[in-house]
Structure 1
Amino acid sequence: MRKYDSEAILQGEGSGFYRSLYKAMGYSNDELDRRPMIGIANSWTTLVPGHANLRQVGEFVKNGIYRGGGTAVEFGVIAACDGIAQGHDGMHFILPSRELICDSIEVQVRAHRLDALVMLASCDKIVPGMLMAAARLDIPAIMVHGGPMAGGVCFDGRKSDLTSISEARGMYSSKKISLEEYTALEDLACPGCGSCSFLGTANTMCCLTEVLGMCLPGGALIPAVHSDRLRSAYASGMAVCELARKGITARRVMSAAAMENAVKVTMAISGSTNAVLHLSAVANEAQMGVSVLQLFEKHNKSIPQIAKVNPAAKWDMEAFWQAGGIPRVMRNMRVLLDEDVATCTGLSLKENLDAYRFQFPENREIIRKLDDPFGLTGGIAVLRGNLAPNSGISKPGAIDPALHRFKGKAKVFNSEEAAEEAILNGGVVDGDVVVIRYEGPKGGPGMREMFMAMKYLYGRGLNKSTALITDGRFSGTNNGCFVGHISPEAAEGGPLAIVEDGDLVSIDVIDGILNLEVSDAEIARRLAGWKKPPRKFTTGYLELYSRVASSAAEGAIIRREME
């Protein structure tokens, strides 16, 4: 019988000290006698709609753990909502919260000598933060999601969602819709709990959790309100007990080969650009020794786009799930994947795909075969050039082909707020390249999303005649011509810091080029005169993060060595 880590404190002479504390909470001898102690890291909160159902989901996980022969111990994890934090100082905290989530789970698991872990999360930074923790801890672990939200009332040719409200504000500011039409969306765009109903960062990372083998097959996209969500949670509780018994740990599942599969699927579904950041951070914690950025560059031209959902199409996440979701995507591209990788079921990816049974018929408008793709190249592109010596990230799969190559005059802003005000007030016109800088991991700090700016451009009808580049990042729902994650960032003296109004900027998201059309001598002259700006935050967590965060090219992780 396998020895569990918890036995060191719960069995043998001296164990009464620790058992007494558990018994103070009502645990019995049976629960404390040589069962695996399974931690449930639950990010339930009434602040985040994607997590509002996790209390109920957690109860089904707990029941599954007991059915599987384990003992469940639950603890809370913070979760911040990207939507509520959008467009103001709150967004500075969102990406840095990922590190806090990872660290706090490590503390709870190690301090209490837990044997395995079930992680409950649905949204943008919480899912990758938990995956990072599992990779760092390298114990048996499984992820359970809360599921995506249903789509809202039809607006602008598709089911509405949270982003529709920002687009509508741009439409209202340019007098394309009435005040009544704009305000009506407030009640109708988000009809219930769940992660936002488009393929943004939240649902992208849930999908990639499944590709990495860290949640049950089909578990990524079951809608929040569907009863299958609860059945999957129960089955996950049972499955983690089996992982604990067999000693199958997170790094055996999240291997370098599994990571390469995740990069390929991100390309195939045109997932969020933030996946580059988060997969890089997970690979770092798992000590894989691979460069996720290089994997994206390696596969961009060889992986076709075979799935198309919002923001690349009208289809929402429920429709993607009904079309077969990630199991259908992986089955359709299985010749490009390593099927021998391990998964949290205890079976290989090949065995999981062979056994999977689809509940709904295929929908070729959403998921296609390899011989009939939506595009011949992947949905994520790495750009380089004199404006992005290390890297920049774009999403060709969500960009109109007419904008794959764009040249325009720079209109420069030193903050997100300044750019948004200019867009809404008509200060950005056709042909402009909006430059938003000092929003990177250090300069932001926290690498805020330029979500609102892109949606305001869309609402004002400028999304097909302008571009936006930044050392910040984007929501996975953005479309239009954009490049984010520009590294080195402006606050580190990257070339983005010396762009001036009127400079010509050329963007090519197919060949991966981002250039400032200014001579090398002029760039050198401007850089010589640049001065590092003072930190925006001088106290608290953001002051620390601004000092120790790595570049976007490295995943914006916290550097463990001090400057």
Structure 2
Amino acid sequence: MTSPSMPDTPTTWPPMRSNFPVDSMRSLARRAEWKPLGVTPEQLDWPKVAIVNTSNDLAACFAHLDEIVMVLKEELRSLGVLPLEIRTSAPSDFITSVGQAGRYVLPARDLITNDIEVMVEGAQLDGMICLSSCDKTTPAHLMAAGRLNVPTVIIPCGYQHSGLAADGSADIEEVFLQASYHSIRGGDQGQMESMADTAIRGPGVCAGLATANSMHMIAEVLGMAVSGAAPVRAGSEPMWDSVRRSAAALVHALRNGIRPRDVITTGAIQDAVTVMLSVGASVNTIKHLQAVAVEAGLDIDVWEAFRTQGRRVPLLASIRPNGPHLVEDLEDAGGTATILRELAPLLSPATERITVTGETLAERIGAAQPADGTIIRGLDDPYSTQPSIVVLRGSLAATGSVSKRPIPDPGPYTFTGPARIFHSREEGIEAVAEGRVQVGDVVVLRGLGLEGGPGMGFVSGLIFALEGAGLAGQVGFVTDGQYSGLANSGVMVGEVSPEAATGGAIGLIQDGDPIAIDLQAGTLDVLVDPEVLSARPPFRQPEEHVPDAGPVGYLDLYRSAVQPLACGAVLCPRPGSAAQAVCAADAGRPAS
């Protein structure tokens, strides 16, 4: 892959917003602040770009990012660009999910977005290059790119070397799954500790097609990352090649005025939906893509795109945790670029849409290697024609809900049964242990949505308890919270919207109300007369299940500002902005 053309000299740059009049207070103050940092008078005239670093010591995901920063600084300076490193918050689902029962994790996405706005917009920098790693960093970087609309390149920073790839018994996702069973069933503690000690062999994100690698692929599909960027082994030569090409791509974008809203188009979002469906990606990509679209000012219902495109997009790859193959296999078979090549007939008509490097999508597809027929299959020989991600709507989920399906999918595809309602994960687990959940029930866990949580409660523990009790596939499961993609057996539906706390029907149902789930039709209904349902008192979380308030701070602000899932769970957009118009339209869309 050839790199975009380089600047001839710094004098060839178009006007940059960071270049204040040399006799101004701002210019002189900046000169004073930056002189001790080694910035020369000549460099003060260069384009000034943020290296957005999410490095911290909390998880292996971020352990290599500081090293990438050093290389990027050298590359950018050699191209006549002044790099300025900034840092943001960055959660790890496995580490920062302890406090407040995991409620900080999703809200951190929007905190990162706002961190970037404060630093890049506040300093009037000319562009940014974002080091994307763990789950919430990539969507946050794409959201910030859409909001600020300054030349931006996303660098997917790679996945970790796992125990499974090194002839071991587990990766981090297997540790999570087995540890969940272990906490319920008990077992050999020493064996569990050995599994944990050998699961991660190097830096990078979880080694599977969970949210992090799914969002890395989305960055490439949208055209905001260089071709061949995802998935990629952290610290490998292909990763370093991607880093260097990304620096050149940012220079090209700066010189030619390529901005995120030129790249993140409706067609690009639709193509990302198609790719995610074709690989059985994380269900979190739905709300993240919707948020990216909102921040980019696009009026597109991503939930409906998943719903309708899921019926025509076959499954071309079967990657852990959804299938037998490793993410290493996906990378070696051509990764995102090859998936795009095989999906070409199903992509948006605008395959001439531009990417951040100046290449068109069609040019990238033309340079990609063909599918090997085993790890990545063609459209004529897919793994499955059943959607691995199913969006459901109906009287219990007017604006959406989602089900993650196993690969291959043995069914069942429908389930109808009486509601058994719980208001916390712990209450549900206790009921399972005591035998109060019966075959044929639909377990309903509510009050854990964006506002009810706040921040969406993580409910996988109850699903694992059902599996441990032998009830997997024997009961239905419905929640306005979220659950892991590892939990995909039986008929389970999450992220029901509107949620209970905002007046959704899930807050009005009672024990015994019949709930009907149809994954083939994409419907989720409560079989109660609408007039009877609407006459019931509004939902109130039982006092004993109101979560500990914790410190008065960010979660309180989040609860007051977060928009519905139909709007990507973004925070309250600026009045009169394109984002606000999109949110208003999405939040009011009827079921289709």
**Given the two structures, how large is their TM-score scaled by the length of structure 2?**
0.87
| 1:51-104 alpha-carbon deviations (Å, 9 max, x no partner) | 121111222222221232211111111101111234662511111111111111
Report the CA distance between 1:177 and its aligned residue.
5.3
Aligned to 2:405: 396
SS of the aligned residue for 1:478 comes to coil
Match for 1:212: what amino acid? L
Kindly indicate whether the alpha-carbon contact (under 8 Å) linking 2:431 and 2:437 is maintained by their aligned counterparts in 1.
yes
Whether contact under 8 Å (1:217, 1:327) holds in the other structure is: yes
Counterparts of 2:515 and 2:434, CA distance in 1: 23
Structure 1 stretch 346-355 or stretch 454-463: which is displaced more? 454-463
| TM-aligned CA deviation for residue 382 of structure 1 | 1.6
The 5 A counterparts of 1:14-25 are: 15-25=27-37
Whether 1:555 and 2:564 are equivalent positions in the alignment is no
Residue 197 of structure 2 is aligned to residue 193 of structure 1: no
Task: Report the alpha carbon displacement of residue 546 of structure 1 after superposing the two structures with TM.
Answer: 1.1
RMSD: 2.7
Q: In the superposition, relative to structure 1, how do residues 13 and 530 fare at CA in structure 2: closer, same or farther (>3 Å)?
A: closer
Equivalent pair of 1:86/1:452 in contact (CA under 8 Å): no
Which amino acid letter does the alignment assign opposite residue 113 of structure 2? C
Instruction: State the Cα distance separating 1:124 from its structure 2 match.
Output: 1.4
Shift of 1:18: 2.2
Contact kept, 8 Å, 1:6 with 1:115, in 2: the verdict is yes
Shift of 1:334: 0.9
Q: Identify if the C-alpha distance between structure 1 residues 158 and 18 changes in structure 2 by more than 3 Å, giving closer, same or farther.
A: closer
| Matched position secondary structure for 1:29 | coil
Q: Which runs of 4+ in 1 moved over 6 A?
A: 532-535
Residue correspondence of structure 1 range 115-154 to structure 2 within 5 A: 115-153=126-164
Q: Which amino acid aligns with 1:404?
A: Y
Q: What secondary structure sits across from 1:214 in the alignment?
A: coil
Q: Which residue of structure 2 aligns with residue 374 of structure 1?
A: 383
Q: 1:319 to 1:417 in 2, by over 3 A?
A: farther
User: Deviation per CA, 1:386-426, whole angstroms, max 9, x where unpaired?
Assistant: 21122111223557332322234433211233334545666
CA deviation map 1:159-196 (0-9, x unaligned): 52223234324544676953433332221223332111
Distance 2:307 2:88 in 1: 34
- Give the residue type in structure 2 aligned to 1:54: L
431, 448, 459: which is aligned to 1:450? 459
Does the CA contact (< 8 Å) of 2:423 and 2:541 recur in 1? no
Alignment match of 2:86 (pick from 54, 71, 75): 75
Amino acid at match of 1:135: G
Write the letter of the residue equivalent to 1:504. P
Separation of aligned partners in 2, 1:179 and 1:241: 52
- For 1:417 and 1:176, locate their aligned partners in 2 and report how far apart those are by CA, in whole Å: 17
Partner SS state of residue 9, structure 1: coil
- TM (normalized to structure 1)? 0.91
Query: SS of the counterpart of 2:411?
Result: helix
- CA-to-aligned-CA distance 1:307-329 (integer Å, 9 cap, x gap): 21122202222222112211111
Of all paired residues, the percent bearing the same amino acid is 32
Displacement of 1:455: 3.8
Q: Report deviation, 1:2.
A: 4.0
Q: Secondary structure at the residue paired with 2:268? A: helix
Unaligned stretches of 5+ in structure 1?
none
Equivalent-residue separation in structure 2 for 1:10 and 1:267 (angstroms): 50
1:326 corresponds, among 330, 333, 336, to 336
Cα gap change, 1:52 to 1:260, in 2 (>3 Å):
same
2:474 to 465, 474, 477: 465
What is the number of equivalent residue pairs in this alignment?
557
Separation in 2 of the partners of 1:336 and 1:307?
16
Matched-pair contact (CA < 8 Å) for 1:332–1:370? yes
Query: Offset at 1:459?
Result: 4.9
Would you say the 8 A contact 2:165–2:326 is kept in 1? Answer: no
- Stretch deviating more after TM superposition (372-381 or 275-284): 372-381
Which residue of 2 is the match for residue 94 of structure 1? 105
Tell me, in whole angstroms, the C-alpha distance in 1 between the residues paired with 2:542 and 2:184: 35
Instruction: Tell me the equivalent position of 1:419.
Output: 428
Alpha-carbon spacing, 1:294–1:225, altered in 2? closer, same or farther (3 Å)? same
Matched position secondary structure for 1:8: coil
Which of 245, 266, 278 is residue 256 of structure 1 equivalent to?
Answer: 266
Q: 1:498 aligns with which of 495, 498, 508?
A: 508
Q: Which moved more, 1:257-266 or 1:394-403?
A: 394-403
Query: Is the Cα–Cα contact under 8 Å of residues 155 and 246 in structure 2 kept in the other structure?
Result: yes
C-alpha contact (below 8 Å) 2:386/2:409 kept by paired residues = no
Inter-partner Cα distance in structure 2 for 1:333 and 1:260: 12
Q: Which residue of 512, 518, 525 corresponds with 1:515?
A: 525
Give the partner amino acid of 2:397: A
Alignment of 1:352 onto 2:364: yes
Distance in 1 (CA, whole Å) between partners of 2:93 and 2:276 is 21
- Distance in 1 between residues matched to 2:144 and 2:85, nearest whole Å: 16
Letter in 2 for 1:548: A
